[in-house]
Amino acid sequence: GWQVSMKSGSLSYILPCNRLPVQLMSQVRVYTSNGQKKDLGSEDTNGSARGETLHKVETGQDTTNSGQKQSSPKQPIQVKVKAVLKKREYGPKYTQNNFITGVRAINEFCLKSSDLDQLRKIKRRSPHDDTETFTVYLRSDVEAKSLEVWGSPEALARERKRRKEAEIKYRENLFRNQRLLWEYKEFFGNTKPRSSTAAMFFKGPGKVVMVAICINGLNFFFKLLAWVYTGSASMFSEAIHSLADTCNQALLALGISQSARTPDPSHPYGFTNMRYIASLISGVGIFMMGAGLSWYHGIMGLLHPHPVESLLWAYCILAGSLVSEGATLLVAINEIRRSARAKGLSFYQYVVQSRDPSTNVVLLEDAAAVLSVAVAATCMGLTSLTGNPYYDSVGSLGVGTLLGTVSAFLIYTNTEALLGRSIEPEQLQRLTELLESDPVVRAIHDVKATDMGMSKVRFKAEVDFDGRVVTRSYLEKQDIEQLLQEIQQVKTLEELEAFMLKHGENIIDTLGAEVDRLEKDLKQRNPDVRHVDLEIL
């Protein structure tokens, strides 16, 4: 663009809009875009003459009248130019300001730890709860160092390919060695101390499941003998019921052991849902194996009735089953009461919400077992008194219906848990109020709190932060006098840009620290909150 600076002089010109005479300037400075300047001074008499001639022609008046005109006051015309920083084009991919950790630099760029000692080390705020700061490196420095070590990008790519092949070979050898070690343990015995996974079965839900496996296994054995001796359809249903309970609880034990596995890159949130999966399969197994066979045997008894032998031994075994199943039921009830009291929930809420799926399965299976023993004993008693085998078959159908109801409840509750349901509205309201009451937060939107199972909650919200409060929090930690001196030293656009970049980055770090503080407060308010995602609007 052109920038023109004018000073008033003796040259007059008539504006075309209102044809009023105005004094223009005799000195004109023309600045071109390449910085060249031209001065048109008052010495240019030809220009003045041409201006006067132009004035005469346009006004149509005599030159004698020009002396009678009153000259206007000399006022300079000022043109304001807005200073704007040049916009930087970063392109579709810009990694010059990226920070990477030392482990990533060694793995991705094939460097040694000694190579990193020569690079610039930068302390940044740590994303982990156990450390405040950690050391990172500029990606551009790491890339330059890798090219210096390997000579060219092609050589670096070849080294990466070689290491990838070596890693695949190492994994294959590791799998082979683990298999050999397992065979060695099978042959010589395992002399390692008891692991934490094994210790899980001596307390809490693991203990309840192991007790249920032992008792239901014994019940199945004795009920099977009673059915073989008496041929009772109700006793057959009870034997199948105990077998189904034993298998399902063994599946629950497998789910408990798998849920204790540590998270890996493929499963970053862990394996806690394995308990719900095992309980879901257990519910399906109860329906197919327990209820299905009981219904089948009861229907066959109605279609083809046959006399029942002496039921004395069957009554004795049912009485023993009632005592053993009742003992397991009491163990499950006590465990659920203790866990519900710790969570501040009622017994019913804890069971319906399926907070502990393994214990819930044991509770419902043993409750169904106690009721089914009562149903089977009643129907067998009616058969003994009346001699009618149809009562016994009806008892088998009743046991199958009871098992089907339990399995349907287990399938529903575990499916709801696996789908990812929200936490209680009261808990969500407390977490929301904690965020909204903080001075750094203006508003929160799109709040989600998902129960991931086994007392693990994932909280997500979009937060509108108050930039003034964040900036004030940053200024409270600064030396104001020194900051004023830095401001006074700013004279050029480059110095202003450097000042703003320095303190702008520090303010962003302050915002990150505020986000970390809010996440920590949320976890302290509700210990079940394990993962917090706060998105900045």
**Domain parsing of the chain, residue ranges:** 99-151, 199-419, 425-536
Q: Which numeric CATH code is attached to 99-151? A: 3.90.530.10
Q: Which numeric CATH code is attached to 425-536? A: 3.30.70.1350
What average pLDDT does this structure show over 509-536?
Answer: 90
What average pLDDT does this structure show over 267-281?
Answer: 83
Q: Is the pLDDT of residue 450 over 80?
A: yes
3-state helix, strand, coil in the chain (%, to 5): 60, 10, 25
Mean pLDDT rounded to a whole number for the chain: 77
What average pLDDT does this structure show over 277-302?
Answer: 82
Max avg pLDDT among 401-410, 445-454, 515-524 = 515-524
For the ranges 47-61, 414-428, 477-491, which has the lowest average pLDDT? Answer: 47-61
Nearest to 55, CA basis, from 84, 101, 86, 14: 14
Structure tokens at 328: 């397991």
pLDDT score of 59? 43
d(CA 460, CA 395): 52
d(CA 141, CA 493): 28
Instruction: Give the pLDDT band (50/70/90) at residue 471.
Output: very high
Q: Is the pLDDT of residue 54 over 60?
A: no
Strand ranges inside 45-165, DSSP E: 99-101, 122-125, 133-138
CATH architecture of 199-419: Up-down Bundle (1.20)
Nearest to 203, CA basis, from 81, 334, 363: 334
d(CA 254, CA 257): 5
Q: Is the pLDDT of residue 47 over 70?
A: no
Instruction: Give the pLDDT band (50/70/90) at residue 439.
Output: very high
pLDDT score of 310? 62
What average pLDDT does this structure show over 4-14?
Answer: 41
Specify whether the backbone of 60 is left (phi greater than 0), alpha (psi in -120 to 50) or beta.
left
Nearest to 465, CA basis, from 432, 436, 433: 436
pLDDT score of 85? 65
What average pLDDT does this structure show over 114-133?
Answer: 80
d(CA 444, CA 381): 66
Q: Which residues of 308-341 are buried (b: 16+ CB within 10 A; e: fewer)?
A: beebeebbebbeebbebbeebbebbbebbeebbe
d(CA 93, CA 247): 56
Q: Are 218 and 320 in contact (CB under 8 A)?
A: no
Q: Is the pLDDT of residue 160 over 80?
A: yes
- The residue type found at 409 is F
> Which H or E run includes 38?
strand 37-40
d(CA 46, CA 48): 5
User: What tens digit of pLDDT does each residue of 211-270 get?
Assistant: 888 888 888 888 888 888 777 776 787 788 788 778 888 888 888 888 878 877 788 877
Instruction: Give the pLDDT band (50/70/90) at residue 447.
Output: very high
pLDDT score of 440? 93
pLDDT score of 214? 87
Q: Is the pLDDT of residue 363 over 60?
A: yes
